[in-house]
């Protein structure tokens, strides 16, 4: 059964004159010649979206509901027939006689539009619980207009899926059979660090039909799992697009459920993907298929690297603030000063691989001064399951591949299975006092490590500590433009202090040179927005 990405659209205006102008469109997954799976966000302009929100997870079986839904247009890539008929030959001959360029034969100019009806709408309980437990403070989509109503509608449609029938006008047809067939096609998602390929139609524009983007799995939410975070770049309209594994034998593993979202006033630079195994198994009320165990000698290529990352990265919490930290051994952890700014009045805690322990601040740079660093200390006996990070003595190089690690999103009520989020990128610019990378960084990454990937195989080195990302005067945050403190600035000083306990060594970290201070203030800076 063939699976392909498509564009799903419809006219939604009640005014006949505007119906051909006001069109909403998104991405979808076409499987077999009859069925299309889309995401519930495509229904947001319709009054029926309120019905879905009020249903609160209950299946919608009303015939009146489906009868009032608009006709759906599904735009696909037009593939050349293996057995062209006479009319195709005549059409091609006519076109060749009237066109002076051969570019018209390119696949980007050839599309076909099918029509269908929505035959079933349902809410996935797995995603719904994920929204309640972790995404409760998120805004799905743009932050324009009434944020409160938008949050309610966006969260209500976040876990909704739509099945479209291309061959029948009948609603209420059996929907379990096509969904069961689709479940046979999908595969359990690959783990954190693996590469995904997203096929989608950004902005719902057929010019971008089935655009391909790639990125890594940055984090996995839930035990089933219920949600994947990926740094594959997408845009509004990508919701519903298929997500495949990378490589020659692409396997369908998920669908985009959110391309643009906001959390605590920051734009979330990651794409949210729902594993179709979990979604369809929950709908069909069957046990999801278990992922195949890797054969001996065929473990995930980043398995050893991720293990090392997890063994030296901790979550740091101080009052309402939190960030990441890097374990240096002997109970010492380096993080950002602004993460522990309120340590004199609030409890300071660290979490790492099932262990929760209090900590104290041994050193902190002054507020708003380079370098934004703090050294923490906790009971080393409680961290004997951790391994000290390897701090590089080789400066970062422009263009080298790196990983950023932090804790942007997690369930604060359940930290037993806490693991860091890992995003990939490269070094954009570098100086002796600053590293700038293209990794996706949000709040919660502060104090986290930047790891080098181009050095000896299966050995990761920390080359920087994440400090800030760029924010415009209007408050817009740019998660893919961020700065880190090079470890070459402080590694020798911290090592000497850990050995000698001489606090004067730590004071030397403070650098009052105006050039470095202005660099970390991003001066001069002019927003281009």
Predicted confidence at residue 100, as pLDDT, reads: 46
Most confident of 178-187, 292-301, 477-486: 178-187
Q: What is the pLDDT of residues 149-174, one digit of tens each?
A: 556 666 778 899 999 999 865 555 46
Q: What is the pLDDT of residues 232-242, one digit of tens each?
A: 989 989 999 99
420 has a pLDDT exceeding 70: yes
Q: What is the pLDDT of residues 91-134, one digit of tens each?
A: 444 444 444 445 556 666 678 899 999 999 999 999 988 887 77
d(CA 421, CA 423): 7
* Secondary structure (3-state) at 448: coil
Is residue 324 within 8 Å of residue 445, measured between CB atoms?
A: yes
528 has a pLDDT exceeding 50: no
DSSP one-letter string for 117-144: EEEEEEE-HHHHHHHHHTSTTEEES---
d(CA 5, CA 256): 11
CB count within 10 Å of CB 345 equals 8
26 versus 53: the higher-pLDDT residue is: 26
Q: What is the pLDDT of residues 237-269, one digit of tens each?
A: 999 999 999 877 889 999 999 998 888 777 888
Beta bridge partners of 244: 197, 252
90 has a pLDDT exceeding 60: no
Is residue 235 within 8 Å of residue 203, measured between CB atoms?
A: yes
Beta bridge partners of 326: 313, 334
* Secondary structure (3-state) at 325: strand
Tell me the domains of the chain and their CATH numbers. Answer: 3-79+106-284 (2.40.10.120), 300-529 (2.40.10.120)
* Secondary structure (3-state) at 279: helix
Predicted confidence at residue 19, as pLDDT, reads: 57
In the structure encoding, which two tokens stand for residue 323, read together? 């960030």
Question: Which of these, 435, 437, 434, 436, lies nearest to 426 by C-alpha position?
Answer: 437
The verdict on whether omega for the bond into residue 371 sits within 30 degrees of 0, i.e. cis, is yes
Across all residues in the chain, what is the average pLDDT? 83
Is residue 395 within 8 Å of residue 295, measured between CB atoms?
A: no
Give Cα 406 distance to the centre of its chain. Answer: 14
Q: Determine the straight-line distance between the first and last CA of the chain, rounded to whole angstroms.
A: 46
Is residue 361 within 8 Å of residue 375, measured between CB atoms?
A: yes
226 versus 449: the higher-pLDDT residue is: 449
Q: Is the dihedral of CA 376, 382, 384, 385 positive or negative?
A: negative
Q: How far is CA 438 from CA 149, 266, 482, in A?
A: 33, 17, 7
d(CA 474, CA 477): 9
Q: What is the pLDDT of residues 290-324, one digit of tens each?
A: 665 544 444 556 778 899 999 999 999 998 889 99
Give Cα 374 distance to the centre of its chain. Answer: 29
Predicted confidence at residue 84, as pLDDT, reads: 55
């Amino acid at each position: 059964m063939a699976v392909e990405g498509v564009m799903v659209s419809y006219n939604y205006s009640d005014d006949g004159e505007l119906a051909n102008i006001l069109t909403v469109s998104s991405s979808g997954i076409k499987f077999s010649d009859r069925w299309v799976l889309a995401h519930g966000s495509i229904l947001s302009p319709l009054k029926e979206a309120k019905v879905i929100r009020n249903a609160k997870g209950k299946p919608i079986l009303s015939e009146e509901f489906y009868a009032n839904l608009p006709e759906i247009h599904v735009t696909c890539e037009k593939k050349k027939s293996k057995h062209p008929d006479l009319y195709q030959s005549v059409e091609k001959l006519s076109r060749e006689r009237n066109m002076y360029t051969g570019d018209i034969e390119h696949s980007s100019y050839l599309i076909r539009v099918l029509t269908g009806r929505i035959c079933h709408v349902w809410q996935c309980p797995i995603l719904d619980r994920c929204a309640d437990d972790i995404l409760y403070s998120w805004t799905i989509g743009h932050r324009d207009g009434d944020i409160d109503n938008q949050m309610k509608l966006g969260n209500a449609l976040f876990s909704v899926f739509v099945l479209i029938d291309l061959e029948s006008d009948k609603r209420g047809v059996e929907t379990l059979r096509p969904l069961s067939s689709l479940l046979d096609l999908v595969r359990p998602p690959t783990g954190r660090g693996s590469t995904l390929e997203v096929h989608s139609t950004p902005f719902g524009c057929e010019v971008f039909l089935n655009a391909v983007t790639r990125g890594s799995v940055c984090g996995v939410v839930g035990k089933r799992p219920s949600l994947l975070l990926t740094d594959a770049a997408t845009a509004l309209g990508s919701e519903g697009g298929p997500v495949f594994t990378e490589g020659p034998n692409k396997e369908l593993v998920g669908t985009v459920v959110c391309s643009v979202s906001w959390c605590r006033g920051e734009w979330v630079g990651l794409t949210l993907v729902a594993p179709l195994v979990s979604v369809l198994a929950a709908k069909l009320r069957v046990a999801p298929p278990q992922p195949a165990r890797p054969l001996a000698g065929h473990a995930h290529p980043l398995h050893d690297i991720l293990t090392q990352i997890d063994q030296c990265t901790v979550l740091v919490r101080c009052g309402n603030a939190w960030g990441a930290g890097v374990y240096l051994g002997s109970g010492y952890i380096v993080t950002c000063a602004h993460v522990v700014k309120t340590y004199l009045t609030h409890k300071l805690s660290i979490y790492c691989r099932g262990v929760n322990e209090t900590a104290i601040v041994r050193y902190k740079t002054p507020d708003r001064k380079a370098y934004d660093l703090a050294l923490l200390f906790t009971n080393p006996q409680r961290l004997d399951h951790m391994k000290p990070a390897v701090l590089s003595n080789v400066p970062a190089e422009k263009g080298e591949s790196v990983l950023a690690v932090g804790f942007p999103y997690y369930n604060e009520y359940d930290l037993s299975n806490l693991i860091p989020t890992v995003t990939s990128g490269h070094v954009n610019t570098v100086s002796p006092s600053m590293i700038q990378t293209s990794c996706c960084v949000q709040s919660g990454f502060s104090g986290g490590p930047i790891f080098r990937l181009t050095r000896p195989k299966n050995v990761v080195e920390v080359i920087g500590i994440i400090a800030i990302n760029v924010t415009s005067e209007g408050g817009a945050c740019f998660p893919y433009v961020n700065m880190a403190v090079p470890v070459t600035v402080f590694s020798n000083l911290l090592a000497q202090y850990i050995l000698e306990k001489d606090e004067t060594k730590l004071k030397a970290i403070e650098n009052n040179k105006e050039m470095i201070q202005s660099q970390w203030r991003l001066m001069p800076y002019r927003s281009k927005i």
